[in-house]
Amino acid sequence: MPIKGHSDMRRIPRIGKIHLGMKQTSQKSGSAYPIACDHFVVKPDESTSEAAASAFHAVYGETPREITIAFASDDPEDFFPQYLSSYKGGEGRYSLFCKGDGVTAKRSDGQGGFREMPCLYQACEFYQAKKCKELGRLQFFLPDVPGIGVWGLDSTSYHSAVNLNSAIDLVRALTGGRMKMIPLKLRLVPKVVSPDGHAKTVYVLDLRLEDVRLVDVFERLPQLGVMHSPPVEPISLDEMPTDLYVDDNLVQDLSTHESSDGDVIGSFVEAQTRPNRTGHLVALVKVATQQGELVEAITDEAPIVGDLPLFVAGMTVRVKTIPSTRFANRLELLSIVPA
């Protein structure tokens, strides 16, 4: 008899990782940098065994641009979670620093946990320093490749995300929300982009429902509704995609959110201003520290309140606060300046 919540648990493991690029080392500086490839890259590493890599290449060759995949779930959040992600560490040891959705983020508190805080997205100092990226993590079966388990693939491409999300929505619309075990073609296709005003060709992911007639999909719908399988191994955002992030993209260890003189340094979030009973303006200022702590301080000092429109979300600032004797259970803002 299984133990409830213990020996009754089942999970399909991940057996391989597909990469969209490789790391190169600069001959001048000796530093590593990622380069994108025009084909799917599979190699033996900590995520993929020799046997799994050989099985993949036996089916698709060394430089495939098209593979057949099938998802293990109907829920896109299970097989294609997408987050803003930044990492810290180095020398092969990495950990998740911050994960956000553009509204709310969970940032490492430096003590093994995470603090919830506003996600400033493109206004965040780490995003602007290219240490935070839009990361999508795809997980799927390879029906034609021997081996029982799922494969993973990571991407930070905007165009790939648009293509994948659009295709997923289309298939779900056609099937009444079903995605599980439907064979799909995943390709790397060329696309001309002009990010800096100069046209260049990049390779982006494209997902299609091909070699299948719509009538075949409709006939299979009753079968899809009763298909059951154990859940796959959860996608871990703590695992850094080494082909997409290099040491220059990592957040350095942050020992404290205070400067040497005790001032708090962080990212300006917002200032909420309202008149008090006497008609004077009172401002509640919010600053997110690099460790994920949200500092809120209040002030009615006219010079400080008057300068607040100069600060925009994401600006790095230095603030000085003290426990207030005038505002109950509040910190009082003594000063705020650009850091």
Residues 326, 191: one domain?
no
What pLDDT does 210 receive? Answer: 72
What pLDDT does 297 receive? Answer: 93
Mean pLDDT, the chain, integer: 84
- Specify if 1 maps to a domain: no
- Name the CA dihedral angle for 150, 153, 154, 158, rounded to a multiple of 10 degrees: -120
- Give the pair of three-digit tokens for residue 72: 């293990």
Residues 271, 150: one domain?
no
- Specify if 214 maps to a domain: yes
- Specify if 258 maps to a domain: no
Q: Which of 200, 216, 249 is the last residue of a domain?
A: 249
- Specify if 33 maps to a domain: yes
pLDDT in tens, 186-238: 999 999 987 777 888 989 999 998 766 666 666 665 555 445 555 677 777 77
**How far apart are alpha carbons 97 and 111 in whole angstroms?**
11
State pTM to two decimals. 0.78
Q: Which domain holds residue 304?
A: 264-338
Residues 239, 285: one domain?
no
- Specify if 162 maps to a domain: yes
- Specify if 7 maps to a domain: no
- Specify if 205 maps to a domain: yes
Residues in the chain with pLDDT values less than 50: 8, 225-226, 255-257, 260
The secondary structure element, H or E, covering residue 240 is none
3-state secondary structure of 60: helix
Q: How many domains does the chain have?
A: 2
- Specify if 239 maps to a domain: yes
Residues 156, 243: one domain?
yes
Residues 43, 138: one domain?
yes
**How far apart are alpha carbons 170 and 209 in whole angstroms?**
9
CB 204 within 8 A of CB 160: yes
- Give the pair of three-digit tokens for residue 290: 């690099």
pLDDT in tens, 83-97: 999 998 766 678 899
CB 96 within 8 A of CB 279: no
Residues 89, 38: one domain?
yes
What pLDDT does 43 receive? Answer: 94
Residues 244, 268: one domain?
no
Q: What is the CATH classification number for the domain harbouring 325?
A: 2.40.50.140
